[in-house]
Amino acid sequence: MLILDGKAVAQKMKSIIAVRALEFAKQVGRKPGLGVIIVGEDPASHVYVKNKEMACQAVHFHSIRLQLPSSTTKEELLQAIQKMNQNELVDAFLVQMPLPPHLSSEIILDAIDPLKDADGLHPINMGYLWVNRQRVAPCTPWGVIKILDHYQIPIKGQSCVVVGRSQIVGRPMAHLLTMADGTVTLCHSRTPNLREKTRQADIIVVAAGQRHLLGSDDFKKGATIIDVGIHGSGQGKGVTGDVRFSELEGHVAAATPVPGGVGPMTIACLLENTLILAQHNKNIIIN
């Protein structure tokens, strides 16, 4: 079984981004700037934001963090977003999810300037994606496409199943696979006989958010498995995904591990989106 090493692919991407970031700084007179607004004290979110800041440093980006208390009101968060929208040192930014329960993620995403939408989740950018005029793409599904491309795993003509229909991963993932000429079935928690669908597929992207949902019996021999799920350690389980990875050896052709698979690609694609928007907003081209 081929291990699809997202960490290695992400490192290659970041090496290219770092060179282009230096050229951007040479032309513009400052580093590309990635901003993050984080609300509350969710431990996983703070770890993720710290990882983003370290990634920014490694590729010669300027990192801007705006920390808000969990008691932040909708109005206060919208004001913070407007500050990021107007900050000339911020080329792109995101609001770290999840938000406290009293804050609506849809309203917050709508307030981000589409030309500073690092996550590629603003409705306008999603619309561009859907009509094949992609400016930036949602980071996780775009990272999956990058992994498949790096390992020269063909999508064209392949039967693809996506398990999960979220706006962040599942739906854009299905669209990106379709645009790469895959024949795609989008499944979810209410799909009857899910195993019948996954066992027919050549490529299966699992983004259901359920620990160890699928195993070797759910896939045909020789399939490629992309596990987007990530579940923190607990009860001695360690960090795991939606797929029972230990069952796959000798059965599938290739699979992403958790951790070290799709996760590193999400941050790499976030950096790529930031540089794309920085170039677009400054009307410069870096080859």
Helix, coil or strand: residue 39: strand
Out of 14, 31, 52, 116, pick the active-site residue: 52
Q: Give burial (CB, 10 Å; 0-12/13-18/19+) of 75.
A: exposed
Handedness of CA 214, 225, 9, 144 (dihedral sign): negative
Q: How far is CA 127 from CA 25, 204, 210, 254, in A?
A: 30, 25, 29, 32
Distance from C-alpha of 14 to C-alpha of 139, rounded to nearest angstrom = 14
Out of 113, 117, 119, 202, pick the active-site residue: 119
Q: What is the largest CA-CA distance in the chain?
A: 57
Out of 31, 91, 96, 218, pick the active-site residue: 96
Distance from C-alpha of 109 to C-alpha of 81, rounded to nearest angstrom = 9
Distance from C-alpha of 194 to C-alpha of 187, rounded to nearest angstrom = 7
52 part of the active site: yes
Distance from C-alpha of 110 to C-alpha of 269, rounded to nearest angstrom = 21
Active-site annotation, residues: 52, 96, 119
